[in-house]
Amino acid sequence: GENISADKPGGLSMTIRQPVGVVLSIFPWNGPVVLAARAIAYPLACGNSVVFRASETSPKTPALIAEALVEAGLPAGVLNLLTNDPNDAPDVINALIAHKSVRRVNFTGFTKVGRIIAEKAARHLKRCLLELGGKAPLVVLEDADIDAAVMQQIRAKDV
């Protein structure tokens, strides 16, 4: 393990890098570089293989990241990119979560979808890390239609 500074005086924190096997990483379309890189980097740094499902809205950027990592020497089979037709997404995700090789699920995206992912992972007793969106920050200016702004905020939270 590795000692890191503790939050409390006199406390001790330790990290242990312990591979679990295959991590399924699912990330959204609206952060294809940063969110994809993070969804890949942490599991790889801990010694895991990664199956990462790119958003059907922006599959090219994650494909370029995967290509760059392979060109940099990442061994074959350690990083596996998957894209699919949007209509097939529920079936593909269900099959991936249910697969016996997948040991962890890492999801970044909408709260509504995250809830579904967590339920599916729980059915298979797989640990799930969720980073959920839907915070929907809103700035309402003095001349705004307040009722319209409220309705837009409600809709944004439900996405």
Extents of the domains making up the chain = 17-134
pLDDT of res. 1: 62
Q: What's the fold here for domain 17-134?
A: Aldehyde Dehydrogenase; Chain A, domain 1 (3.40.605)
Distance CA 135, CA 157 (A): 7
Among residues of the chain, what percentage have pLDDT more than 70?
A: 94
Measured CA to CA, the distance from residue 81 to residue 28 in angstroms comes to 14
Contact 24, 53 (CB under 8 A): yes
Q: Helices 111-123 and 89-98: crossing angle, nearest 10°?
A: 40
| Confidence band for 138, pLDDT divided at 50, 70 and 90 | confident
**Pairing verdict, β 13-15 and 22-26:** unpaired
Cβ atoms of 132 and 110 within 8 Å: the answer is: yes
Assess whether pLDDT exceeds 90 at residue 104.
yes
pLDDT at position 20 over 90: yes
Has 119 been annotated as catalytic? no
Q: Is residue 23 classed as helix, strand or coil in its secondary structure?
A: strand
Give the pLDDT mean for 20-42. 90
Q: Which of 107, 112, 47 is nearest to 79 (CA)?
A: 47
